[in-house]
Structure formats: C-alpha cells, structure tokens
Amino acid sequence: MTSTPTRAAKVPPAAPQRSTVVVPRTAVRRAAAALSFRNIGAVYVWLVIVVLFSVWAPDTFPTTITVKQVLNGNAVAGLVALSVVLPLAARVFDLSVAYTMSLTSVLTAHFLVSTGLGPFAAIALAMTAALLVGVVNAIVVVVLRVDSFIATLATGALIQSLITMVTNDSSITGVQLLAKPFASIAQLDAGGFTLPVLYLLLAALAIWFLLEHTATGRRLYATGFNADAARLQGVRTDRLRFLTLVASALLSGFAGVVFASSVGSGSPTAGTPYLLSAYAAAFVGATQLRAGRFNAWGTVLAVMLLGTGITGLGLATSAQWAASLFTGSVLIVALVLTGGRIALPAALRRRTGPRPDITTGKEV
C-alpha cells in the first residue's frame, strides 16, 4: 500500500526549463557577434562619418537628396569593385578591369556614333570584346602560368593601346549616345534612384548567392585559401580561376557600358579612377560580415562608406585634395581597427569561425 506513493514521488526534472534559458543566451551571443566592431566595423565608421558631415554641413548633407546622390554616384564604382571580388576569392588579381571598362565605354560609343549600329548591337559587340579580354587574361594566367598581377597589368597596357588607336585619346560624343533607348540604360530612374543602383544590387545578390550558397563558391574560397590542398581534394582550381577572370572582365565591361550611358560619351580614361577604389573597397569589404573572405555585401558597404565621405566633402566645399586624404585615411583606419586581417595574400589563409569542408560543403 505504501509503494504507490513512493513511485509517484520520483518525478523527473522538467527539461523545458533548460531550453528556455539556453536559447535566449545563444541568441544574445549570436547577436553580439553579428553586431561586434570586428564584424561590421565599417558600419560604425560610416555612422560616424554621417554624424560628422551632418554637423559640418547641416543644410545640405542630412537630406534625401544626398542619399540619392551617394547611391546613384557610386553605383558604377560598386560594379567595378564587385568585378574583382570573384578573382580575389580565388586569390587572383585582375588589374585590367579599369582598362576593360574604358574599352567597352569607347567601343559602345564608337559603334553607335561612327558605324550607325543600333544600341543592342553596339553593346553586344562591346561585351564580346570584354569577353575576349577575360579569355586572354585567363589563358595567360591559368594556361601559361604567368603571375596574375603582372599578366593583367600587361593586358591592361595592351588594351590601353587599342583604346588610343580607336579614340586618339579623345572622348567619343554624339547625339546617339543621348537618345533612347541607350540613354535609358543608366539615366532612367524610379523615385530618384537610377537603374545602375538596381544593377549593383542584382550583381551583389548574384555574387553573394554564388559564394555563400553554392558548392562552386565553397570551392572558390578553398582555392583562395590553399590551392594545393583544394586540388588534392579534387577541386578544379584552374578552371575556377579561368572562369573568375572571364566573369571579372564581363562585369567590368558592363560597368563601362553603364558609364557611357550615364555620361553620354565614350571616355578613353573612363575606368582609370576606379581601379584603386575598387580594390580598396574589396579589401575593406573582406573585413566585414564574412571576416577573412572577400564578399559582395561587404564590398558594397565599403563603396558606400567611401562614397558618403567624398560626397560630404563636396557638399562641405572642402579643398580638392581632401577627397584623396579622406579615402586613404579611412582605408587605413578601417583595416587597422578591424584587425588588418586581409593586409597580405598570405593572410587569406587565416580565418575565424567555422571552416567549410570543400567536399561536403558542411562547416567544421
């Protein structure tokens, strides 16, 4: 008679109480890591810049017009910066992106103005030239085993000679470049935001999905971190590097077409100002969001950070040299404060957090 209450008294501890404590703590830790300075330090620097210029130029800077100006004015720079993300992820430098951008800009203008071709045919021919540049770069770097830094710099010099031959170092202008539908490629806007902003977002989305959610992206990162180990695991590293150089040329070539549409001319030096800023944004972006990895959204964030500062300096009527001083200072500060983890190619092998297994795709 007394055994029944004894058995009933042995009640197991309530398990749900543990989960109600652990889950919130885990969520807090994840949120703290996501919002840490090492993860999104550029965002905090960006906010400081916004506050600084809001105080410095209160009548002109903190307006919606400035927001539109920053986005519209830096969309092409963002496209060029994104064009180097894929090669850098595979530890390949493509220094010909600026020349490829100039090439497609002048070729599109030349075909439209001098030959009488329609916009679609002119753009198709210009993009074919960009594709050929990418293939040549890939053959020299991957097949002939020439260092990518030297090879693409040499290719850029050859492209510049072709540009000079076509343009005689003069911009190509004509009413065809100002008429629709070619002008609409970059000048059509919705709510004050031009189409290049949409192109930038779509390109960033595509690169983000490729790098973060596909097996190809994991293999690209594996190639960049340790090509020999990736090759031993069965990754076709040469093919990946080949394709990244082709993709880089196509995206920078598209940026040249957009630039020609936005300014209404084909400039032989269209891409020159974008080369340094593109690599600066890519390296600063590699310290954000996905520390140690070149990534799309970190690059876009870096482009907008630099664009905000330069726009603010212009609205504050500062000296002409101030823009270069600002760009260099922000790059140094951002890299130092976030740990300088991407300062050298050898540092690409150092990462924090889980690492993906290149065969299964799972993080270990």
Residue 346: the pLDDT is 45
pLDDT single digits (tens) 78-113: 999 999 999 999 999 999 999 999 999 999 999 999
pTM over 0.85: no
Highest mean pLDDT among 4-13, 189-198, 245-254, 349-358: 245-254
pLDDT at 358 over 50: no
Bigger pLDDT: 191 or 144? 144
**CB-side exposure of 279: number of CA atoms within 13 Å?**
20
